[in-house]
Amino acid sequence: MSKAEIIDFDTIDNPVDDQISACLNLANPKSFFLFAGAGSGKTRSLVEALKYIQGQYSRSLKLMGQKVGVITYTNAACDEINSRIEFDPLFHVSTIHSFAWSLIQGFNKDIRKWLEINLKNEIAELEEKQAKGRAGKASIDRARKIESKTKRLALLKEIKKFTYNPNGDNLERDSLNHSEVIQMCSDFLLHKPTMQNLLITRFPLLLVDESQDTNKHLMDALFEVQTQHSDRFALGLLGDMMQRIYSDGKEGLGDGLPADWETPSKKMNHRSGKRIVTLINKIRASVDGQEQTPRNDRGEGLVRLFILPSNTENKPEAELIVTESMANATNDPGWFGANQDVKTLILEHHMAAKRMGFEEMFEPLYKIDKFRTGLLDGTMTELRLFSNLVLPLIEALEKNDKYAVASIIRKKSPLLSKNTLKAINDDQTAQLKKVRAAVNDLFELWANNGNPNFLDVLLLVKENNLFEIPERFIPIISRNFEEQAEAKVELESSEIEKEDDRDSILDALDKFLLTPFSQIKPYVDYINQIAPFDTHQGVKGREFPRVMVIIDDSEARGFLFSYEKLFGVKEKSSRDIENEEQGKETSHDRTRRLFYVTCSRAEDSLAIIAYSDNPQKVYTHALNEGWFEKDEIQVGLK
């Protein structure tokens, strides 16, 4: 095949960009859903669409005072897109939370009314449970929550202007939390024509990257707006349902689209070697039948499956042997030795938590649906008190970095807020002494090799008013500040409470707070991707020459995923069967997607280590599925 023929073949997706461009006609906008599998150049197509708009409609958009909206998942993705379009102000590129706030910001009367209704409903629900519930810890917590929400409700009328920071903790009295902003924006778009008109007047075109992971409530609202105003507002969705990894995304997003939508599809995989593309095609074959084509100028690539017993005593040593085996098979020194450069992906966060030493703090929080996304991306407000304030403060104190200590307190502590300093007038010297005493009290928890838990830290922070406290912690703090004898009675009575009488969120926070504060550091390293392990969330959209995927249900301990089921070792659970019959997502579905995402990160070579209680069953299943050939599978270490 000639070089010209290779180039022609490897650009077979170019007409897709033309198809998208045709949808971006401001006089006759057309909505579309772009299927873009792993390594297909989705971001490139998005940027090409924006450049087309620059060339065709820049002048007319500016005359109308309009922009093109682009929603993507992370700040890093925003920076990447903005850099490729040279930060052209014609485009409003933002994360979902920033975009939602840009729409509702300033509608203070509507926000106040929404909060008033929402708080009254929450209080009524709590009071109903309180009337039916029995005495004990849950009853005390409900009373504290009722008190806190009632206080917030009473203070609403005093707030003239509501605030929100998409990247902050939003603990001030006038601030909204992340969940509220998304809920409000979705509700306003569905029920307020003014908000719909604001959206389509500002953004006649709205492109949503990683649409499969965009909040389902906001997606439903955007679909409704597009349906009602299809003549002057177009949605452009880019994504791949096989790569949906967050639970709050919309299931079946690409199914049942309106007849007037375009559905372009990219077929090329520019990232991976041919053998790797064949594997990921096989993995998704039974889901949607979508197949990708590898580039002709890519190498063959290499995949290997190593099946080891779950009770392998020294797993890190076994994994090192695998990397040496891969180095020999690929003749690539990057797999083993001094030049090793391998991306190790683990398929469930519990594995990282266990291997890195933050499993105790992680597990109770991960069980709560409302916490899961924030826990995994580092935005959970309750954790940020410890990860973004207390931890940096303690590390600065340990280094005797007085400048860093002063900077943290000055920027974040209510003890030195503008309102506090204004109230004390000339008595600032005494206030500085109070600050030093509060900081010293906190640091004293680590004296003599102290190992405080999160609750120790939280109570001291609250007692000294060192930092603002997230609302969900208030009932727990109030309970723990009671007399010791009374607290003992409360805890004893809670033992006999019904399971459904307890508040699952406060119960999870209680368990988390009793774990060692020392676990916050490895957790922070993990979510900031400076750890030796990464997961499907952490490598979203990224690629690596050498990838080692570690499968181990015994370490994962998660109820959302099961590789023993995917590899045919275990039968589907009754819950999975019930969900399957109802057309709902199963653990098998989630696991297959996760397996696809991690395998598709590899460019040149891929090693999969599967720990199993039944290695022979895994071997047979992998062959029967057609995922691997016999000479690509190794059972045990040789």
Task: Give tens-digit pLDDT for 207-243.
Answer: 999 888 888 999 999 999 999 999 999 999 998 888 8
Unique residue bearing structure tokens 């019959």: 581
Residue 589 is predicted with a pLDDT of: 85
CATH class for domain 3-104+181-266?
A: alpha beta
Quick one: which of 26, 81, 79 has its CA closest to 48?
A: 81
Is the pLDDT confidence value at 195 over 60?
A: yes
Please determine, looking at this structure, whether the domain spanning 274-348+535-635 carries the CATH number 3.40.50: yes
Q: In the chain, what are the domain boundaries?
A: 3-104+181-266, 108-161, 274-348+535-635, 360-526
Residue bearing the bigger pLDDT, 319 or 571:
319
| Chain segment 489-522, per-residue pLDDT in tens | 343 333 333 334 457 888 999 999 999 999 999 9
CB 408 within 8 A of CB 388: no
Angle, CA of 540, 622 and 315, to the nearest 5°:
65
Residue 553 is predicted with a pLDDT of: 81
Element (H, E) at 447: none
- Reduced to 3 states (helix: H, G, I; strand: E, B; else coil), residue 351 is helix
Token digits of residue 422? 């204004």
Percent of the chain scoring above 70 in pLDDT: 91
CB 290 within 8 A of CB 305: no
Residue 132 is predicted with a pLDDT of: 85
Is the pLDDT confidence value at 526 over 80?
A: yes
The edge-to-edge listing of strands for the beta sheet with 91-95 is 91-95, 68-72, 205-208, 234-239, 32-36, 265-266
Sign, CA dihedral 119-121-124-129, equals negative
Q: At what angle do helices 428-443 and 402-412 cross, to 10 degrees?
A: 110
Angle, CA of 495, 127 and 503, to the nearest 5°:
35
609 beta partners:
306, 550
Q: Considering the chain, what is the average pLDDT of its residues?
A: 87
| Chain segment 129-183, per-residue pLDDT in tens | 888 887 777 788 888 889 889 999 999 999 999 999 887 777 788 889 888 999 9
Is the pLDDT confidence value at 367 over 90?
A: no
Render 378-390 in DSSP notation, one character per residue: T--HHHHIIIIII
